[in-house]
Structure 1
Amino acid sequence: MLTTIEATFENGQIIWNEPPPGQTKRKVLITFLEDAAGPISQRRKAGSLKGKISVPDDFNEPLEDLKDYM
């Protein structure tokens, strides 16, 4: 079973945010996460492009370029 515990690695030492479960000898895997690069973008609001995009009336009509293949 795997358990994930958040900690900080600083000056060669691991500083636990909470105590690890159990005090017996165990194998551990340590993954170093990259620092976030820049601010997190905001979620897009549905409908924000309303009125800015239009579809031409002849959208479903055959294209002149493909007339020879039809």
Structure 2
Amino acid sequence: MYTAINGVFENGQLTLQEAPPTKKRTKVLVMFLEEIETTKGEEVIKKKGIKLGSLASKGYSIPDDFNAPLDDLKDYM
């Protein structure tokens, strides 16, 4: 069984942010994830996602019968 638990490694000690699923002696695998820290005065630049409906002006649209049953699947209904 694999379970992921968040934690912080600082000053040579690992502190888990939640209780592990077992109290028994268990093998563990620790992965160190690179974290980018910002210094005072730096701004974090976030990428903007696609806004809902933004593709409508580019010719994309959903047909009115989008939720209607498909003729190909009538035998299964």
Where on the TM-score scale, by shorter chain, does this alignment land: which range? 0.5 to 0.7
Q: Which runs of 4+ in 1 moved over 3 A?
A: 36-40, 44-47
Change (3 A) 1:35 1:3: same
- Give the paired residue count: 50
Higher Rg: 1
What aligned pairs does 1:1-70 form with structure 2 within 5 A after superposition? 1-36=1-36, 38-45=44-51, 46-47=54-55
Report the TM-score, using the length of structure 2 for normalisation.
0.52
Give the CA RMSD over aligned residues.
2.4
Identify unmatched segments of 5+ residues in structure 2: 38-43, 59-77
